[in-house]
Chains A and B, each alone.
Chain A
Amino acid sequence: MHRRAHRALLAATLATMAAAASADSIKIGFNVPLTGFAAADGTSALKGAELAVEQVNARGGVGGKPLELVVYDDQASPKEAAPLAVKMITQDEVVAGISGSYSGSTRAAATIFQENATPYISAYAIHPDITRAGEYVFRTSFMGEVQGRAGAKLIGETLGKKRVVMITLNNDFGQSLAAGFKEKAAAFGIEVIGEYDYGIKDREFGPIVSKVKADAPDAIYASGYFFTAGPLVSQLRAAGITAPVIGQEGYDGQKFIEIAGPAAEGVLITTSLDRDSTDPVARDFMAGFEKKAGYPADMVGASAHTAVLVMASALQSAGHTDKAALRQAIAATQVDAATGHISFNALGEVKKDVQVQVVRDGAWHRHSVISDAALLAPPEK
């Protein structure tokens, strides 16, 4: 009897301590794919977000309270993300949420955050409908269309290439990039002489490579992630195709270079992390990320880091954790983050420059910056 009472007392003490700890911290929900096909990006996103929380807490947290990430694995699946969003809001009582996940799961969670009037930031999911869930939902990364337009300017104007083949990943990411690219292609004098689609599971591009070789384009605009783009670029170069390859933030990371090897040299991407940035926040992030993760910083990690910093700064300026006030504070954000200066338009879409990076000597470097506000303007509604 005595022992059992003792144990109950201990349990009660621990429970009280746990409750006290959580009452003293500001909880932010974070859904991220840690298992399944998107686990690689999820891992980087989590590292970036954790780094931001550590940096904020090392500076004394927000209003004297430490930030606490409430992390759930959503497997990049809408059917996982929706109940997790409910759980974060109702059981964990988070003040806000951040998505470190892909579009499908982010859209599902965004609707629930909106319904519960709880602020939600998409770190790098690109589907246009995410922010259309409502005024509580924001995005700190580029929409696919915006980046596609930047790609058209890069190829048609900066590089002066006119006959272009598009290789398009047939998911929301690739299709929205393609839509933005085609919208502005003619304006930059680009003629699309061929467009080929592939699926996210494809790693073997033999037939497309053969066709592109026959097309003999001036440049190739290819959407994809490092795990599709790495094999694609190496197979294009192996077939003797020398036309420049222009990708996007999905390529962004050291792993792309590792897979494509020498074939990666000269590949250009539109992204949001400038490796040669002299900005202290970006430099601090890149050094901190590599130390924490054991591999160089990537776009996904930088985007998650940015989203957490935006949230922390909004919490600071709101002064308390009232959700409506927090939403107002996020909408008024003016923050210098690892991915540039962040502010939002009326829809909650980010306004910032597009970074063009190039692979040189086995690493990403600055090629140029596209800061054409009219071209890069996200939709307002």
Chain B
Amino acid sequence: MLALDLLIQGLVQGAIYALVAVGLTLVYGLLRILHVAHAALFTLGGYLGVLVTNATGSFALALAVAMGVAGVAGIAVYRLAYRPLLGRSPLIALIASIGLFIASEEAFRIIFGAHGLSYVTPPLQAQIEIAPGISLSLARIAVVVLAVVLLSALGWLSLSTRTGVAWRASVSDPPIAQAFGIDIERVRHLNFFVGSALAGAAGVMVALLNNLVEPTMGAVPSYKALAIIVLGGLGNVRGTLVAALALGVVESFGTIYAGHLLDRDAIAFAFLILVLMLRPQGLLARS
């Protein structure tokens, strides 16, 4: 029973990792940039979720606002930080990204205070017994449902629409895609909007599980999401999803059975190293 409980907790955590990491892998696939500042949009989503819920009482509205604003902010990051650097080494964009992320943490602190914010009345706190002896809060169930819905929608968008075809073409071969008349700039905007909106949604859900948003809440996703996209095979969306769930479950069991030796991050990176030793190309990427 404990094993099942730990598996479920791991999948909840994995669902959050998946929402954050997909945006990162999309950006990497399209631009070959390691988008560390992605985690700033996760934090932005968390803050908006708490602020809008506290102001209006509507969690659904807060989620929508957080996703929309994070999406637009993602486009802004692309246009202001990355586009001017596209012709240069990806290392320069990476450094810009790290700088932007650090600046964002201090900006959140200056604007909203160092102590962070909490929901005045946290929504979705009711407990539901999903199996004998295992109860989950509605918030945890909502995390999984939201991840499934949003990622399925992303799958449908990329596989079954013309926009999605253009998107995938731009990822696999930008010059040819351009030659076929695909507006690559539009694809990039869409890419940043969708990825950042997903990160914003993840921020809202994390804020709900912890009832706390802090200036530094993006610190863990900023590097763990990088580990996940490497684990999944850089730029591979399906691999990223598998890696996110696998990492969530490994961390869940590891926290209990190896927690004295290794902390959560160490468990995650030990898992990463182990996988890369066996499959240097990542979990699902073709070698």
Residues of A within 8 A of B (CB): 35-37, 39-40, 42-43, 170, 195-199, 201-204, 206-211, 213-214, 227, 230-231, 234-235, 238-240, 255, 258-261, 295
Pairwise interchain contact A239-B135, C-beta atoms closer than 8 A: yes
Task: Kindly report which residue of chain B lies nearest to residue A295, judged by CB atoms.
Answer: B115
Instruction: Name B94-125 residues within 8 Å CB distance of A.
Output: 106, 109, 113-116, 118, 122, 125
Pairwise interchain contact B259-A35, C-beta atoms closer than 8 A: no
B263 interface residue per 8 A CB criterion: yes
The one of A206, A208, A261 in contact with B12, judged by C-beta atoms closer than 8 angstroms, is: A206
Given contacts A198-B259, A210-B5, contact A234 B211 (CB under 8 A): yes
Given contacts A198-B255, A199-B264, contact A206 B13 (CB under 8 A): yes
B58 interface residue per 8 A CB criterion: no
Task: Kindly report which residue of chain B lies nearest to residue A35, judged by CB atoms.
Answer: B106
Pairwise interchain contact B255-A255, C-beta atoms closer than 8 A: no
B130 interface residue per 8 A CB criterion: no
Interface size class of B (residues with CB under 8 A): 35 or more
Residues of A with C-beta under 8 A to B253: 207
Given contacts A207-B256, A210-B6, contact A201 B220 (CB under 8 A): yes
Residues of B with C-beta under 8 A to A42: 114
Residues of B within 8 A of A (CB): 1-2, 5-6, 9-10, 12-13, 106, 109, 113-116, 118, 122, 125, 127, 135, 137, 140, 206, 209-212, 214-217, 219-220, 251-253, 255-256, 259-260, 263-265
Pairwise interchain contact A227-B116, C-beta atoms closer than 8 A: yes
A-B contact list, 13 entries, CB within 8 Å: A35-B106, A35-B109, A40-B214, A198-B264, A199-B265, A204-B13, A207-B10, A207-B251, A209-B9, A210-B2, A235-B209, A240-B127, A259-B210
Residues of B with C-beta under 8 A to A230: 118, 210-212
CB distance from B14 to the nearest CB of A (A): 11
Residues of A with C-beta under 8 A to B125: 238
Q: Is the interface of A mostly helix, strand, loop or mixed?
A: helix
- B5, B253, B260 interface centre (most CB from chain A within 10 Å): B5
Task: Kindly report which residue of chain A lies nearest to residue B129, judged by CB atoms.
Answer: A240
The CA of A214 and the CA of B134, in the complex, are separated in Å by 10
The CA of A208 and the CA of B5, in the complex, are separated in Å by 10
Pairwise interchain contact A203-B12, C-beta atoms closer than 8 A: no
Residues of A with C-beta under 8 A to B116: 40, 227, 255
Given contacts A39-B109, A207-B10, contact A202 B264 (CB under 8 A): yes
Given contacts A198-B263, A227-B212, contact A255 B6 (CB under 8 A): no
The CA of A295 and the CA of B116, in the complex, are separated in Å by 13
Pairwise interchain contact B256-A211, C-beta atoms closer than 8 A: yes
Pairwise interchain contact A259-B135, C-beta atoms closer than 8 A: no
CB distance from A260 to the nearest CB of B (A): 7
Task: Kindly report which residue of chain B lies nearest to residue A200, judged by CB atoms.
Answer: B263
Given contacts A207-B10, A210-B6, A210-B9, contact A259 B118 (CB under 8 A): yes
